[in-house]
Homo-oligomer: A and B are copies of this chain.
Amino acid sequence: MPTAERTASRRKPSPKIANQWLRQILSLLYRRRSLSRIEIVETTGLNAASASHALRYLLNRGLLLRSADRNQITFRDREVFTLNAEAGYFVAIDLEGDRLRFGLTNLLGDIRCRWEECLEYGQPFAPKKVVEGIDRVTRDLDSTQLGRVLAVGVSFPGLLDAEGCLSAVNLGWTKVPLLAALRQEFPWPVFFERDKETCIHAENWLGAAQNCRNALFLIAEGGIGMGMLEGGKQLLGARGFSGEIGHCKFIPGAEDLCNCGQRGCLEAIASSPNIIRQYAERTGAAPAELHFADVLERARRGDAIALSVFERAGRAIGSALSTAISLLDPEIVILGGDLILAEDIMLPIIWDQIRLMTRPRSLEVVQIVVSRLGFDIRLKGAASLAFQYMLEAPELVQRLCAPARDAAPALDRRPGPRAMRER
C-alpha cells in the first residue's frame, strides 16, 4: 500500500506523541477487543485527527482489522476496529502445580501451541527444561512468526529476588538464575508475576472479572492465596507479599501443621494435600495412594468422613472470604484451583459460612463464582501480563508496530510492587 504508507510518513507526528497515541488505542483494544472509531475517540480522549492518524498507522502495520457494522438504531454503517489476533505472540510459562505448562498465545489470549512437563515428586526440576519448554512451543514458527513473538510472561510460585533468581519449593529450586538463563537463550523481554496475580490478570482479561474493577481471586490447590483487584489495579502490598490469606487462621485452636511452620493456617486445613491428609488420618488410608479427586468422589457418594473434611475446609474458606469481602467490598469473588472440581460440594458450604459470618450490607452486590478458565488460567494470565507490560514500554510498542521484527531489544524487567504502582 504505497499510498497509505506515504500518507502515514508525511503526517508522521513526533515519535513520542505518536507512541502514546498507539499505546492508548492498543490498550483500549487489548481490553475491549473491538470498538468503533467514535468509541475509540471518546474513550481515549484523543482528538479525531490524532485517533485517525494512529488508527491508519496501526491498520497499515497489520495490527488492527477494520470491518463495517450497521448501527441498529441509526441504520448507518460504522467502522469497527478489532485487534488482529495473529499480529503478535507471547510465550507464556506456568511454573506452578505438578505439571509445568508452556504456551504460545496470540494477542487475544488463544493458545496456539502448548507443551507440558510433569514434575517428578521429590525430584528437583532442571532449569534447562524451561528453556526446552520455550523451544518446544516456538520451534514450529517460521521466521516471520518468530519475529512476531513479543515477550515472555512467567507465572511463578515462591520468591523471585531482584536479580531474577527464583526459589520455589515445588520445583526444588533455591535461587536458580532463571532470568539470566532465559536472557541468554532468547531475545525476548521477560516479565514475571506471582501465580495469584496471573490468575486475576487472566480473569480480568478473559474471564469472569472482565468488566470488573474490584475483584478477588481465591486459589486453593497445593497452597492457598488471593489475588486482589481494586479500581482495576492489583493490590500487591508494600513488598509484593500481599494475598497471604493461606497463612491466616480462621479456626482457632486448630492444630493442623502448615508448611510455613505455624499451626492452624487456612492452607493447613483447606489446601488439596491437606484435605487428602485429613481424610487419610481419619480413615487410616495411605495419603500417597489418594488423590484429591478420590476424596471428592467419596464425598459425592455420601462418605461421612470425606464430607466432614470438606465441611471443615469449606467453613474455613468461607470465614476467610467473609473477612476479605468485608474489608475490600469487591464486586465478584472467583474461586480457582481444585475448588473448580469441588464446586458442587464446597460452594454451598462456603456460601453458608459467608452468610453466617458477614454483615448483610457487605453481601448486597457481591457474586461468588468458580473460574471457567480451566487449567490454562495461569498461561493466559502470564500472556495478559506480558501484553500489559509491553503496552507500558514505549520501545516495545515500537517493536510491536515495526514492519520487520527480527531484531529484538534486550529488555528484561520483573514487575515488582514499585513498577506496578507506577502504572
What is the CA–CA distance of A359 and B241 in the complex, to the nearest angstrom? 11
Closest residue of chain B to A323 (Cβ to Cβ) is B248
Q: Are A327 and B236 in contact (CB under 8 A)?
A: no
- Please tell me if A361 contacts chain B, counting CB pairs below 8 Å: yes
Q: Are A329 and B237 in contact (CB under 8 A)?
A: yes
Which one of A91-99, A127-135, A224-232 contacts B? A224-232
Q: State how many angstroms separate the Cβ of A210 from the closest Cβ of chain B.
A: 15
Does more than half of chain A's interface fall in helix, strand or loop, or is it mixed?
loop
Q: Are A236 and B362 in contact (CB under 8 A)?
A: no
Task: Write the A299-328 contact mask toward B (1 if CB under 8 angstroms, else 0).
Answer: 000000000000000000001001110111
- Please tell me if A273 contacts chain B, counting CB pairs below 8 Å: no
What is the CA–CA distance of A260 and B212 in the complex, to the nearest angstrom? 28
What is the CA–CA distance of A20 and B335 in the complex, to the nearest angstrom? 43
Q: State how many angstroms separate the Cβ of A42 from the closest Cβ of chain B.
A: 15
Neighbour of A235 across the interface among B239, B241, B248, B328, CB < 8 A: B328
- Please tell me if A36 contacts chain B, counting CB pairs below 8 Å: no
Task: Write the A243-255 contact mask toward B (1 if CB under 8 angstroms, else 0).
Answer: 1110111011000
- Please tell me if A357 contacts chain B, counting CB pairs below 8 Å: yes
Q: Are A245 and B329 in contact (CB under 8 A)?
A: no
Cβ of A328: which chain B residues have Cβ within 8 Å of it?
235, 237, 242
- Please tell me if A203 contacts chain B, counting CB pairs below 8 Å: no
- Please tell me if A262 contacts chain B, counting CB pairs below 8 Å: yes
A sample of 18 inter-chain contacts (CB < 8 A) reads: A226-B327, A230-B235, A230-B236, A231-B236, A231-B420, A231-B421, A237-B328, A237-B330, A238-B365, A244-B326, A245-B326, A247-B326, A247-B358, A247-B359, A247-B362, A249-B322, A260-B359, A327-B327
Interface set of A (CB-CB < 8 Å, partner B): 212-214, 226, 228, 230-233, 235-245, 247-249, 251-252, 260, 262, 265, 319, 322-324, 326-331, 357-359, 361-362, 364-365, 417, 420-421
